[in-house]
Amino acid sequence: MKKKIKKKSQTTVTQRNKYTFGDRATAKRYYLMGLNLQEISKLMDGIPVRTLEKWQQSEKWTAIKEVQPLKLRALELHEGGRSYNEIAEILKVSRVTVWCYLKEAKEVK
């Protein structure tokens, strides 16, 4: 939503909307919940979809969304009695990555 302001010389200046980090975080949370950008725009009082696309690209939301299921799968396999090496082979990631996933999952619990 751009607002036009007239100055004394009758030239119009376009002011940009300013969004807080909280707005970005909320939009990101909605995206990770599975909403698309149009739905997020409606929920967040009409933030332009293009702005949401820029945030999505700069913060790599899609990469984050793809990693979450891997972390959950690693935790399920570990709780099922699999070793780090077996989990790494199944998920096609390194053993160190499996260790990091499980460490993060244990911290959340």
Distance CA 36, CA 30 (A): 8
Read off the CATH number of the domain in which 70 is found.
1.10.10
Identify whether the C-beta of residue 101 lies closer than 8 Å to the C-beta of residue 71: yes
Is 54 in the same domain as 67? no
State the residue range of the domain holding 22. 3-59
Distance CA 94, CA 91 (A): 9
Residues 67-104: pLDDT tens digits?
Answer: 778 888 888 899 999 999 999 998 888 999 999 988 88
Is 47 in the same domain as 82? no
Maximum distance among all alpha carbons in the chain?
A: 75
Identify whether the C-beta of residue 95 lies closer than 8 Å to the C-beta of residue 78: no
What is the model's pTM?
0.52
Distance CA 105, CA 87 (A): 15
Residues 22-76: pLDDT tens digits?
Answer: 999 999 888 887 788 999 999 988 889 999 999 999 988 887 777 778 888 888 8
The alpha carbon of residue 25 and the mean position of all alpha carbons in its chain are separated, in whole angstroms, by 8
The alpha carbon of residue 36 and the mean position of all alpha carbons in its chain are separated, in whole angstroms, by 12
Distance CA 99, CA 25 (A): 27
Is 34 in the same domain as 75? no
Structural domains counted in the chain:
2
